[in-house]
Amino acid sequence: DLEMEDCGIFANRNLEGWKINREFFIKMAMSKKFLKMLTEKTYEKATDMFKLWDIMIHDKRDVDLSKWLETFAAVSTSTGISTYSMISYFNSLGYKYNLDDIPISEREQSSKLISLINSFFKLDYVLSAIKQLKDFLIELIQRRRVEINLLSNYALLPSDFLTLLLTANTPRDLEYTSYKSLNRPLNDHEIFAAIRDIFLGSIESVINYLI
């Protein structure tokens, strides 16, 4: 029912499939372009978060670290989706940070993905959350694949994890890396599993460790 035993690395019982996913996952995670982007995004998000904290500390408000870390998720670095959950959470505390310049569709997409990830770890909702998260990510993967294919061969591509997975073993490969385990591009299901494992292994693990 969880659809986790035949893909990804988190709970994959297919040894050959696990080896393939592990090789791609490790090489992508160690990619120079990805690590550079990850460092820049983390610094940018942390700086924004600390500015919001300064406002709360000035107002003598408590800072719930676990709640803030839920908003400081790895969504933008893994999928390329801009996240506004940090600002939305700040506003839910009674503040009024202006979001008018951010398209509603982008805010809704960000909020929906964060909500699905959080539901993934709640027993009562896990089955429905997995299906919804898979549908959401498969749609995102297919849409991004089309967008990349429509770009010229000289267009600069972002270095988020999703883009690296989509371009691996293609002429647009950002790292020009050879993979011993597979000589074809990854399919939608394989890419979904890799992105899902990022959420399973990073976001919730850090939050639970600090709680």
Determine the average pLDDT of the residues in 196-209.
58
What is the tally of structural domains in the chain? 1
Read off the pLDDT of residues 103-130 as tens digits, 9 standing for 90 and up: 777 777 777 777 777 666 565 556 677 7
3-state secondary structure of 15: helix
The answer to the question of residue 2 being in a domain is: no
pLDDT at 146: 95
Both tokens of 107, joined, read 């805010």
Amino acid at 200: L
Whole-prediction pTM: 0.71
- Taking a C-beta distance cutoff of 8 angstroms, is the pair 99, 107 a contact? yes
The answer to the question of residue 8 being in a domain is: no
The answer to the question of residue 3 being in a domain is: no
pLDDT at 209: 38
Both tokens of 49, joined, read 């978060």
Specify the higher pLDDT residue, 197 or 144: 144
Q: Tell me 184's DSSP state.
A: S
The answer to the question of residue 42 being in a domain is: yes
Which range, 51-60, 72-81, 82-91, 131-140, is most confident?
51-60
Specify the higher pLDDT residue, 50 or 209: 50
Does position 57 have pLDDT exceeding 90, yes or no?
yes
d(CA 90, CA 27): 36
The answer to the question of residue 127 being in a domain is: yes
- Taking a C-beta distance cutoff of 8 angstroms, is the pair 86, 93 a contact? no
pLDDT at 179: 62
Range of the domain at 66: 15-210
The answer to the question of residue 9 being in a domain is: no
Does position 15 have pLDDT exceeding 60, yes or no?
yes
pLDDT at 181: 66
> Under 8 Å CB-to-CB from 146, ≥6 apart: which residues?
none
d(CA 66, CA 197): 21
Does position 211 have pLDDT exceeding 70, yes or no?
no
Query: Mean pLDDT for the chain?
Result: 77
The answer to the question of residue 92 being in a domain is: yes
The answer to the question of residue 5 being in a domain is: no
Does position 142 have pLDDT exceeding 90, yes or no?
yes
